[in-house]
Amino acid sequence: MTHPEDVPASELLPRLAAALKQRNAVAPPSWASFVKTGVHKQRAPIDPDWWYLRSASVLRKIYLLGSVGVTRLSSEYGGKRDRGSAPYHARTGSRSIAREIIQQLEKSGLLQPHKGGGRRVSPEGQKLLDTESRDLLKSLSASRPALAKYL
């Protein structure tokens, strides 16, 4: 059985983002084109499809971490803030972006609430992640024979 941790995230996430876009599972809100992803960032993302890529990343992170809430996700997407001559300090990412993505993924049936709090991946979301991982692994195993053991 192929899991999302068996394949490189840099190759899985664009495929997963395309699948989410094709299914209309998520859609960027009107404010997504000019919002920063955290206080540690200077500008808004330049990629017009960044919302789909972040949604795919959130889905994968929730799959890997188990039950996750908005605050934990915002700290996962945080970074260090440049404070001029003062030392850098860690800052969290935007909770509004994390909250909106979680709500959209839950509405599309890919996430479900967890009884202990937070959200976890639903069976439909797990099927999507496993299918995309397996397809990617099949295409990669031709060029990288060492990955064939995961099929």
Dig out the tokens for 3 from the structure.
Answer: 């899991």
| 35 vs 54: CA distance, rounded Å | 13
Q: Which residues of the chain have pLDDT under 50?
A: none
| 94 vs 111: CA distance, rounded Å | 20
The pLDDT, as a whole number, for residue 151 is 57
- Residue 126 lies inside a defined structural domain of this protein: yes
Cβ atoms within 10 Å, residue 27: 13
- Residue 147 lies inside a defined structural domain of this protein: no
- Residue 150 lies inside a defined structural domain of this protein: no
- Residue 143 lies inside a defined structural domain of this protein: no
Q: Write down the pTM of the prediction.
A: 0.89
Domain span at 120: 4-138
- Residue 27 lies inside a defined structural domain of this protein: yes
- Residue 124 lies inside a defined structural domain of this protein: yes
The pLDDT, as a whole number, for residue 116 is 85
CATH of the domain at 48: 1.10.10.10
- Residue 123 lies inside a defined structural domain of this protein: yes
> How many domains, in total, are found in the chain?
1
pLDDT tens readout for residues 28-62: 999 998 899 888 888 888 888 999 999 999 999 99
- Residue 151 lies inside a defined structural domain of this protein: no
**Cβ proximity of 56 and 20 under 8 Å:** yes
